[in-house]
Structure 1
Amino acid sequence: MTQLMWFRQDLRIQDNSALWHATQAGQCIAFVALSPKQWQQHNDAPIKIDFYLRQLESLKDSLAQKNIPLIIKKIDEWQDIPHYLEQLTKELDIEHIYANAELGIHEQQRDQAVKNLKLFQDRTLFPVKSIRNKSNEPYKVFTPFKKACYERLHHDVPSCYPSIEKQAKIDCHIQSDALDQKDYQHKQAHWNVTEEHAHQLLNTFIQDDVKDYNKERDFPAYAGTSQLSAYLNIGILSARQCLNALFAPYDGQMHFKHDGEQTWLDELLWREFYQHVLYDFPKVSKHLPFKDETKKLKWENNEKDFKAWSEGQTGIPIVDAGMRQLLSTGWMHNRVRMICAMFLTKNLLVDWRKGEQFFMQHLIDGDLAANNGGWQWSASTGTDSVPYFRIFNPITQSERFDPKGDYIKKWIPELKQLDEKQIHDPYSKNANAHLDYPKPICDLKKTRQRALEAFKSL
C-alpha cells in the first residue's frame, strides 16, 4: 500500500519519526502545504519563510535520492488542507497519512479534521502528557520539570530513528505548485540550509564550544551559543539528534565532563518545557497570560516608545544594539532578548503581546512556544516567570555582559569612539554631550517604580 508523508515543521529525512514509520508501512509519497495567509496570521517572519522554502528545496533533493516524490501545494489557509488531502488520498489510493504532531491549538484543530491521519511525537524529547507531577498534572515551573526529565534521561536517552531505505520508483502524476520566493527576504549568507550543514554546526559546537558554554553563552560579543535554534525550529535538526551528539562521547549515556554540557542540556530542556506548556495550557496559544491575575495589568502602550524600541532608538545602548541585530540578521542573542523584553514590558510598560508579535515578525527562529514563554517570563505574566519586583537594569546588564562594549560598538557604530565606561550610558556624565545618538527615552529608576506599582495594584 502507498502511504503519504505530510511534512510540516520537520524538514529532514534523518531521524524523522513519521517518515520512518511511513516508509516501514509501504511505498511513500511526500506532501507539503504552503500557506502564505496562515503564515501572515501567525506573524511568521519573511526571513523564516525564506529559510523554510530554501530547506524545502534541499528536502526535495534528499527525498528524490530515496525515490520519494514530493508534492508541494499552495493552500492559503490550514482549514482548507483537510479537504485537499481527502481528494489526494483518493486520487493516489493512499492508505494512511503520516505526520509529526504540532502542539499549537490551531495546528491541533487542523489535524483533527484530517481523515486516516497517524500522528507521531517528534517535536519534543518526551511525548506530551508523559512528564507529570505526583498529582498527575502538568508542571507549571521549570526546575521540577527539569528534574523529572533528568530522571528519565538517567534511565534512558531517547535514541534516533535509523536511516530510511531507498524505495522502488513510484509513479506520481500530481504537479507541484510554485511559490514566488521574491516575496520574502533572502539572508543566505549567514543562514545556510541542508541537513549536512546543520549537523556540521552541531558537531563543531559539541567538539569545540560546548565545554565553555556556561561561561560564554551570556556574552553577546562572543560566539558562545550554538546558533542551532533556527535549525531546530523548522526541523532541519531534531532535539534527539542534539541529545545524542551531546552524549556521544559517553557511549550515549547521560554524563557530563564539563559544566557547559549540563548548561546546554538545561537550555534544550527549557525548549522542551515551553513546548509541553503550549500543549497543556492552550490559553498561551490565545494571546492570554499564563497567570490569570495579570490580565488586569494596566499597560501604558505608548506608541512613540514602542516605535523607538522597535527601531533601536531608545537611547539605551544594549537595548538598541539588540534590536538592530534583530533587524539586520533575523536573530538576537538570548541574553539580549531578555534585556530588550524586560525593558519594553517593565520600563516602558508596553504589553508583552506587542513585543512577542514584533519578535515573531522578525526572528528566523520564531517559535510560538519559546517566544511566548520568553516574553511571559520577562513580563512576569507567565509560568516560571521572574517575580515582578525583579527588573533588569539594562545599564548594569550591559556593563556585566558586554564589559568592553564590543557588542554595542558592532551594532551602534555611532558610539564607537566612547570608552568602555561611557559606552553603556553615554549621557550619564554629560547630559549635553554631542552624539549622533538619541538620549534615553525614559528614566530607568522612575519607570521601574511605575512597573512595581502597576504589579502591586493587582
Structure 2
Amino acid sequence: MNNILWVRRDLRTHDNPALLAAIENGATCAVFISTPKQWEQHHLAPMKADLMCRHLQLLSEQLDELGIKFIHITATDFADQVTQLQAYCSDNNVEKIFANTEPECDELKRDQAVIERGLPLELFQSDTIVPVGKVLNKQGEMFKVFTPFKNAWLKRVQQTGIECSPSPPSDSTSTLGPVSNHSDIDGNSKANHHLDISAESSGNFDIGYPRESSDRWPLSETVIKQVIPEFLVNKVSSYHDNRDIPSIKGTSGLSPYLAIGAISPRWLAIQLIQQNPEVLFDTQHSAFSWLNELIWRDFYKHLLFHYPQLAKGSNFQTKYDGLIWHPDHQNFKAWCEGKTGYPIVDAAMRQLTTTGWMHNRLRMIVASFLTKHLLIDWRWGERFFISHLIDGDLSANNGGWQWAASTGCDAQPYFRIFNPITQSERFDPKGIFIRRYLPELADLPDKDIHFPHDYLKKHPDQDKYWAPIVEHKQARLRALTFFK
C-alpha cells in the first residue's frame, strides 16, 4: 500500500499518532504543504515562521532516520492545499493519508474538503492532553467556566490516565535526557542553536513567507534533553512564586514549541506527573500551578472546538456585541510602539516587538490597558499579538484577549481594571525589567520608575520619556461607564 503522512502543526516524532499509524501501515513518504497566502491571512509572525522552518528541517532529518522521505509541496492557501494534495495522491497512487487534527475553523473546513474530494484521510487527535469533546458537564455541554472544567479534567485524567503514542524506535525523545546547566528559555537567551535552513538535506524549505531569526530559541531536541529536565527538577516547584516576575526566568518557555507542535502537551504532562504523581490529586501541590497552565491551554482549545465562531472574531459573551469601541489609531500606534507613558506597558511592548515574546503577566497588563484604558477593540490587540508572537496560538491568544476585555469565557469582570502603576510596583518593584527595555529610564530611582513623570518634571535634564496618553483614574471611570 502507498500510504503517506501529512505533516501539519505537529513537527515532532514523539507522541505523534499519525506518524505511528503511517509507519505501521508501511508509509515511506511524508508531505508538508506550505501555504504562504493562508499564513498571511492568519497573520503568522515571521519569527514563528522561522522557528517552524528550523523544525521542518529537523523533522526531515528525523524522518529520514526512520526511512521516511520528506517532501515539500508549495501551495497558496488551504483551497490550493487540497488541490495540491489531491494531485500528489493521484500521481503517486496514494491509498491512505494519515494526519493529526487541527481545531481551528479554516483547518476543519479544509479537512472536510479533503474528505469530500474522496481522499482517504484518517485523522488523529494529539494537540490537547484530553481530547476535545471529552470534558463536558452533566448536560453534555462544554463548560463555560474554567474551574468546573479543571475539576472535570482532573477527574478524567485520574480515572483514565493520559494517552500518549509510543515513539518510533530510533526517536531520542522517548526518554528524558540528562539534566544540564542549560538555562530556562524565554526569548532572551543568547544561546545560538540555529540550524541553517539553507543546508537542508531533504528538500528546500523556501516557504515563500517573511522570516525573522528565531536563533534565541534552541531546537526542540535540545529543549527536550536539557531544558525540560532542569525545569522539572529545579524550577517547577517555585513556578507559582516566580511565574509573575518578568525580570527573572521563572516560566518554562515552552509555548513556542507547543504552538508549532514541536513538543507534545501530553508528553509534557506525563513527565510532570511521573515526577510528581500527587499533583493530580492536590491542587495545593507546589507543581500544580504549572499543570494548571496546561489545563488552561486545553480549556481554550476545547472552547474553540465547541464554539468555532471564536475563530471569526466573535465575542464569546454576545451581550457585549453592542460595545462601540474607540477606533483611535493614534493611541493604538502609541501602544504598539511602547509609547503610552506607562513604563511597564511600554517595556512589555518593547519586549514583544524586539524578541517576539512577552511574559504572561505583562500580556494581561497590556491587554487590559488597550481595552480598558484606551477602549480599543480587543481584536486590534489580538491581531497585533499574533503577528509578532513566536508562540502565537489562536485559541490561547483569543482566550487571553477576551479574558482581558471581559468579553470572553470566564473572563475577568468588566470592573476589574488593572492599574499599570501598581502592577509595575508589585511585579517589577526595582524596575529591573523596565530598565532592560526602556534604557531611557535607566538612571531613575526605583520608587519613581513606575510612573516617572513627577520626577522628570523636577529633573528636566533626564526627561527622555514621553507623557502618558491617558490619566489612569479618568480612564478607569470612563471604562466603567463604557461597559455599564
The answer as to 2:407 corresponding to 1:381 is yes
Counterpart in the other structure of 2:65:
65
Q: Give SS of 2:480's match.
A: helix
Cα displacement (A) at 1:300: 1.2
Q: Give SS of 1:298's match.
A: coil
For residues 150-169 of structure 1, what are the alpha-carbon distances to aligned partners after superposition, in whole Å with 9 as ceiling and x for unaligned?
101222331422222479xx
Which structure 2 residues correspond to residues 297-316 of structure 1 after superposition, within 5 A? 297-316=323-342
Which of 447, 450, 454 lines up with 2:478 in the alignment?
A: 450
- Asked if the contact 1:6/1:31 (under 8 Å) is kept, the reply is yes
- Asked if the contact 1:73/1:176 (under 8 Å) is kept, the reply is no
For residues 406-434 of structure 1, what are the alpha-carbon distances to aligned partners after superposition, in whole Å with 9 as ceiling and x for unaligned?
01011101111111110001014564642
Which of 273, 278, 288 lines up with 1:262 in the alignment?
A: 288
Which structure 2 residues correspond to residues 183-222 of structure 1 after superposition, within 5 A? 183-188=210-215, 190-222=216-248
- Aligned residues, how many? 448
- Asked if the contact 1:45/1:361 (under 8 Å) is kept, the reply is yes
Q: Give SS of 2:380's match.
A: helix
Alpha-carbon distance in 2 for matches of 1:165, 1:421: 58
| Cα 1:222/1:176, change in 2 over 3 Å | closer
Cα displacement (A) at 1:259: 3.4
Q: Which moved more, 1:191-200 or 1:398-407?
A: 191-200
Q: Which moved more, 1:374-383 or 1:426-435?
A: 426-435
- Asked if the contact 1:214/1:259 (under 8 Å) is kept, the reply is no
Alpha-carbon distance in 1 for matches of 2:371, 2:278: 42
Alpha-carbon distance in 1 for matches of 2:138, 2:284: 32
| Cα 1:419/1:166, change in 2 over 3 Å | closer
Which structure 2 residues correspond to residues 372-411 of structure 1 after superposition, within 5 A? 372-411=398-437
Which structure 2 residues correspond to residues 304-343 of structure 1 after superposition, within 5 A? 304-343=330-369
Which structure 2 residues correspond to residues 30-49 of structure 1 after superposition, within 5 A? 30-49=30-49
Counterpart in the other structure of 2:194:
none
Alpha-carbon distance in 2 for matches of 1:253, 1:213: 14
For residues 24-73 of structure 1, what are the alpha-carbon distances to aligned partners after superposition, in whole Å with 9 as ceiling and x for unaligned?
12233101011111110001100000110111011101111111001101
Q: RMSD over aligned Cα, in angstroms? A: 1.9
Alpha-carbon distance in 2 for matches of 1:248, 1:151: 17
Counterpart in the other structure of 1:282:
308
Alpha-carbon distance in 2 for matches of 1:258, 1:389: 29
Counterpart in the other structure of 1:172:
none
- Asked if the contact 1:195/1:237 (under 8 Å) is kept, the reply is no
Counterpart in the other structure of 2:94:
94
Which structure 2 residues correspond to residues 71-82 of structure 1 after superposition, within 5 A? 71-82=71-82
Alpha-carbon distance in 2 for matches of 1:182, 1:67: 29
| Cα 1:78/1:180, change in 2 over 3 Å | closer
Q: Give SS of 2:448's match.
A: coil
Which of 347, 350, 356 lines up with 2:373 in the alignment?
A: 347
Counterpart in the other structure of 1:131:
135
Cα displacement (A) at 1:194: 3.5
- Asked if the contact 2:278/2:285 (under 8 Å) is kept, the reply is no
| Cα 1:252/1:266, change in 2 over 3 Å | closer
Q: Which moved more, 1:112-121 or 1:19-28?
A: 19-28
| Cα 1:430/1:88, change in 2 over 3 Å | closer
Which of 246, 250, 258 lines up with 2:272 in the alignment?
A: 246
After TM superposition, the score normalised by the length of structure 2 is 0.89
Structure 1: tracts of 5 or more residues without a match: 168-174
1:317 partner letter: P
2:11 partner letter: L
Counterpart in the other structure of 2:6:
6
For residues 194-224 of structure 1, what are the alpha-carbon distances to aligned partners after superposition, in whole Å with 9 as ceiling and x for unaligned?
4343442222211110000000000101110
2:214 partner letter: K
- Asked if the contact 1:198/1:231 (under 8 Å) is kept, the reply is no
- Asked if the contact 1:123/1:238 (under 8 Å) is kept, the reply is yes
Alpha-carbon distance in 1 for matches of 2:279, 2:350: 41
Q: Give SS of 1:436's match.
A: coil
| Cα 1:452/1:258, change in 2 over 3 Å | closer
Structure 2: tracts of 5 or more residues without a match: 172-201
Alpha-carbon distance in 2 for matches of 1:32, 1:162: 22
Alpha-carbon distance in 1 for matches of 2:104, 2:246: 31
Q: Give SS of 2:397's match.
A: helix
Alpha-carbon distance in 1 for matches of 2:48, 2:154: 32
Alpha-carbon distance in 2 for matches of 1:407, 1:86: 51
Which of 411, 415, 436 lines up with 2:441 in the alignment?
A: 415
1:3 partner letter: N
- Asked if the contact 1:74/1:177 (under 8 Å) is kept, the reply is no
